[in-house]
């Protein structure tokens, strides 16, 4: 018994308008299942099957028939379906995640900027500290100069008081006022120097007379004609003295 070639399946032949099974589906339709019917029909009994009634099946018409679901075509996704979400990038084995490199570079840039700002702040702080020291030093210098100018103007009065003291005239209420004035000026840092017997110091003494003496072993102030004054470490006026040199 020979086999008649099987007719093309209407479902597979594209009898449905729109072409193939997958092409004919519209957005939102259910997945389409294609069923193929593999039948073996006897060539000699084909007419009998044709003459037989529609309701009575022909005996021996189908020698071997089976319905095989051998292909399922499901459209992957419809047009109106949910959006496709890409899977997250997996880190490379043995390495950092893909986003680690940009984050590391940004972190290094932030650290470099922080170091630069820190150095700027330290430099500004040091400059401000130096500025304050300079201002304080200048202020102290200006104050000392102003005080020195006032005290220098009072030195002739102190010289008159010294001469009055040497002659014994600085007594009574006048002597008390002189002592109070000397004490008040001392609170501003004024101090007198130059006494008989002091070693001669050319930076602090002004020698107006020289003589020799066997009683001295070095240049010595033997007579003080006018005492010297200094304000702190600043020399206001040198002492005027007579110096005796060793023989």
Look up residue 47 and give its two tokens. 């007419």
On whether the pTM is more than 0.85, the answer is no
Structure-model confidence comparison of residues 27 and 237, the more confident one: 237
Residue 11, pLDDT > 50, answer no
In a domain, 114, yes or no: no
Residue 113, pLDDT > 90, answer yes
In a domain, 123, yes or no: no
What are 174-230's pLDDT values in tens digits?
889 999 999 999 999 999 999 999 999 999 999 999 898 888 889 999 999 999 999
* CATH number where 194 lies: 2.30.22.10
In a domain, 63, yes or no: yes
In a domain, 109, yes or no: no
What are the E-state strand segments in the chain?
33-41, 62-72, 190-193, 205-213, 220-226, 228-231, 234-237, 239-246
Mean pLDDT of 103-117: 90
**What was the pLDDT predicted at 38?**
52
Q: How many domains does the chain have?
A: 2
Residue 10, pLDDT > 80, answer no
**Contact assessment for residue 241 and residue 200, using Cβ atoms and an 8 Å cutoff:** yes
Instruction: Print the domain residue range for 37.
Output: 1-80
What is the DSSP code string of 194-242? Answer: --TTPBP-TTTEEEEEEEEETT-SS-EEEEEEE-EEEETTEEEEPEEEE
Contacts of 79 by beta carbon, 8 Å cutoff, 6+ apart: 27
In a domain, 236, yes or no: yes
Q: How far apart are CA 144 and CA 136, in angstroms?
A: 12
In a domain, 125, yes or no: no
Give the alpha-carbon dihedral of 199, 202, 204, 207, to 10 degrees.
Answer: 80
**What was the pLDDT predicted at 104?**
83
Residue 123, pLDDT > 50, answer yes
In a domain, 118, yes or no: no
Domain final position from 80, 101, 116:
80
Mean pLDDT of 70-98: 48
Top-ranked range on mean pLDDT: pick from 19-28, 67-76, 181-190: 181-190
Average pLDDT along the chain: 73
Residue 128, pLDDT > 90, answer yes
Q: How far apart are CA 106 and CA 110, in angstroms?
A: 6
Residue 178 CA to its chain's centroid (Å)? 65
Domain final position from 22, 52, 80:
80
Structure-model confidence comparison of residues 82 and 114, the more confident one: 114
What are 28-68's pLDDT values in tens digits?
455 555 555 555 444 444 444 444 444 444 444 444 444 44
**What was the pLDDT predicted at 214?**
86
In a domain, 120, yes or no: no
Domain final position from 25, 50, 80:
80
Residue 152 CA to its chain's centroid (Å)? 55
């Amino acid at each position: 018994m020979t086999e008649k070639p099987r007719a093309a399946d209407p479902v597979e032949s594209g009898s449905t308008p729109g072409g193939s099974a997958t092409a004919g589906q519209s957005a939102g339709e259910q997945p389409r299942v294609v069923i193929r019917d593999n039948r073996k029909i006897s060539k000699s009994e084909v007419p009998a099957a044709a003459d037989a009634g529609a309701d009575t099946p022909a005996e021996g018409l189908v020698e071997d028939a089976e319905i095989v679901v051998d292909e399922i075509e499901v459209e992957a996704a419809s047009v109106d379906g949910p959006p496709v979400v890409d899977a997250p990038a997996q880190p490379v084995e043995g390495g950092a995640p893909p986003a680690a490199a940009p984050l590391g570079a940004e972190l290094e840039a932030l650290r470099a900027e922080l170091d630069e700002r820190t150095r700027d702040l330290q430099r500004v702080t040091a400059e401000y500290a130096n500025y304050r020291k300079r201002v304080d030093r200048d202020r102290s210098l200006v104050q000392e100069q102003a005080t020195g100018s006032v005290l220098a103007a009072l030195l002739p009065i102190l010289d008159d008081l010294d001469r009055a003291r040497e002659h014994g005239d600085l007594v009574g209420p006048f002597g008390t006022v002189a002592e109070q004035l000397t004490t008040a000026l001392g609170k501003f840092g004024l101090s007198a120097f130059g006494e008989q017997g002091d070693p001669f110091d050319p930076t602090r003494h002004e020698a107006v007379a020289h003589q020799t003496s066997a009683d001295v072993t070095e240049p010595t102030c033997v007579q003080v004609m006018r005492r010297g004054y200094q304000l702190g470490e600043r020399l206001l006026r040198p002492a005027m003295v007579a110096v005796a040199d060793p023989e």
